[in-house]
Amino acid sequence: MAVITIDHAAEFVGDEVTVNGWLYNKRSSGKILFLEFRDGTGVIQGVLARADNPELFARADRLPRETSLTVTGRLRADRRAPGGCELDVERIEVIQEPTEPFPIELKEHTPNFLLDHRHLWIRTGRQVPILRVRDAVFRAVRGFFYERGFVATEAPILTGTSVEGTTTLFPVDYFGEQAYLSQSGQLYLEATAMALGKVYWIGPAFRAEKSKTRKHLTEFWMAEAEMAFYDHGANLALQEDLVRYVVTAVVDERSRELEQLKRDTAVLVEEVRTTFPRVSYADAIAILQDAGHDIQYGDDFGAPHEAALGDHFGKPVFIERFPANMKPFYMKRAHDDPSVVLAADLIAPEGYGEIIGGSQRVDTLEDLERQLAEYNLPAEPYKWYLDLRRYGAVPHAGFGMGMARLIAWICGVSHIRETIPFPRQINRLYP
RNA sequence: UCCGCGGUAGCUCAAUUGGUAGAGCGCUCGGCUGUUAACCGAAUGGUUGGAGGUUCGAGUCCUCCCCGCGGAGCCA
């Protein structure tokens, strides 16, 4: 007899199988009992008739939700069952039976209640498929970089300096010295790229901004890449390939989960099928003004502007050539117009906003020193970073991709807090 | 930090002009042979976020505070 996982149940129709899992829900009709089991890979309905086994029926009828158990039975194809097959239950071994009702009911709850019970919420409903998609997205990103010859590396989490100087950092006491949690691994990846050529990592980033939107967490995961000998154009081409690769791979691998999430994958596939437009910041401003938005050259895009640009193109769109004063000190200026930088944000469609920010980096010591001065940044903490331009500097570029926003877009969920097991937000450090 | 909305039973929400605090769900008990958040019946369940004030009387009105949600700013 096979011990199986529920996602492979259809392959064992006709067999007697065992599933290790939990009782998700049950419905009783007096002489027939429907038991929904979950095991992390999916949910399957078990059926038990009182006439077949009165002792087991009475015992199972009393089990509360989230009882951990091992269930054995014969799999049968049945179109009435969710998932296409169901289990004729023959034996149940209870591992642990809760003595209190499971707090998460299978009905509406407020976000606050659910977040307070996040450790239990993740067992239910949409949360399991979302987290399974998250796994697939991480794996697809790693697969893409591996196939392209990138070396997986790491950047430190504990840092002595800010990367960009502007964003608020989480301070940490480091043996009496002031340290911070990293807000980005970029400067370190620039150093690593000079050692290994093309590098990437997926790591956490921390921002102490008091953001309260559906697109922000204080702790979030970024996929960052840095490539020696890449210019701005090659950088964008790589980002486009990455996004198309990940979406395509995840739609293929996690079609069942995306269906459970009621995500229209045909829309998703179409959005990444053709070339992503590249629009200058100046042209994007003009598009927004034509659409009636009150925005001027030099203004940052707000959420409504990003959504409008996404709607305008109906697919991911690069906004490039931003005014230099809107962006950090390390970005390279355009050869034909020093007032703009060779940077681009990738805006996702359907209102999901910016999912990638990247740029070609300053590659001469002279320019870097000048731009540090222009931003009123002290040279001392950046001494090692300046060294990268002192010893064999080359043109190079890179980007950071917000994993949660990417996952939210792929899943079609409106708030990125559902895309990470334990979201950290302002006022939320537990569980 | 700013703007808006909210806090009533374990959960989700009602409560007219200020006049006896209620329903559904959950848990428990009973019924029901194809249920899909099953359904039907019964029972259980309250310091109305906190402090102060107005009033014969406050869930309701006033002041302050706490907490949450949505958005803005900032960013990925």
Residue-wise pLDDT tens digits, A89-148 = 999 999 999 988 899 988 878 888 888 889 999 999 889 999 999 999 999 999 999 999
Q: Output b/e per residue, A123-162; b: 16+ Cβ within 10 A.
A: bbbebbbbbbbbebbbebbbebbeeeebeebebeeebebb
Tell me the pairing of strands A151-152 and A198-206.
parallel
Q: How far is the CA of A427 from the C1' of B55 (A)?
A: 38
Provide the CA A389 to C1' B13 distance, Å, integer.
Answer: 63
Mean pLDDT, each 10-residue run in order, chain A (431 residues): 92 95 92 94 93 92 94 91 86 93 87 87 91 96 97 92 63 86 91 97 88 84 96 97 97 92 92 95 91 84 86 92 90 94 93 92 94 85 92 96 93 89 83 81
Nucleotide closest in space to A404 (CA vs C1'): B76
Rg of the Cα atoms in chain A:
26
Closest nucleotide C1' to the C-alpha of A24: B37
A99 CB neighbours strand B below 7 A: no
Which tokens belong to A206?
């921390």
Tell the residue number behind the tokens 């999916």, with chain if given: A42
pTM assigned to the model:
0.93
Whether CB of A113 is under 7 Å from strand B: the answer is yes
Q: Are A419 and A408 in contact (CB under 8 A)?
A: yes
How would you classify the pairing of strands A85-96 and A43-49?
A: parallel
Q: From residues 195-224 of A, which are strand B contacts by CB within 7 A?
A: 205, 207, 209-218, 220, 222
A112: CB partners within 8 A, 6+ apart: none
Rounded to whole angstroms, the distance from the CA of residue A388 to the C1' of nucleotide B15 is 69
Residue A275 burial (CB < 10 Å; 0-12/13-18/19+)? exposed
pLDDT, one tens digit per residue, over A131-181 is 999 999 999 999 999 999 999 999 999 988 655 554 578 888 889 888 888
Q: What are phi and psi of A98, to 5 degrees?
A: -60, 145
Closest-CA residue to A179 (of A155, A204, A203, A162) = A162
Provide the pLDDT for residue A195. Answer: 97
**Does at least one atom of strand B sit less than 7 Å from the CB of A111?**
yes
Q: Could you check: is the Cβ of residue A66 within 7 Å of any atom of nucleic acid strand B? A: no
Asked, as a colleague might, if the bond just before A431 is cis with ω within 30 of 0, I would say yes
**Which nucleotide has the least CA–C1' distance to A215?**
B76
Residues 359-398 (A) near nucleic chain B, CB < 7 A: none
Token representation of residue A387? 């060294």
User: Could you check: is the Cβ of residue A304 within 7 Å of any atom of nucleic acid strand B?
Assistant: yes
Q: Give me the pLDDT at residue A376, please.
A: 82
Within residues 5-34 of protein chain A, the ones with CB less than 7 A from nucleic strand B are 25, 27-32, 34
Closest CA to A251 of A274, A270, A277, A237: A270
CA distance A221 to A344: 20
A383 CB neighbour count, 10 Å cutoff: 10
Query: Where on strand B do bases come within 7 A of a protein Cβ?
Result: 1-2, 10-13, 25-29, 31-39, 67-76
Q: How far is the CA of A112 from the C1' of B58 (A)?
A: 28
Report how far residue A306's alpha carbon sits from residue A342's, in angstroms, rounded to the nearest whole number. Answer: 19
* Interface residues 162-181 of A with strand B (CB < 7 Å): 166-167
How is residue A42 written in tokens? 């999916």
Residue type, A69: L
User: Could you tell me where the DSSP H helices lie in A20-110?
Assistant: 54-61
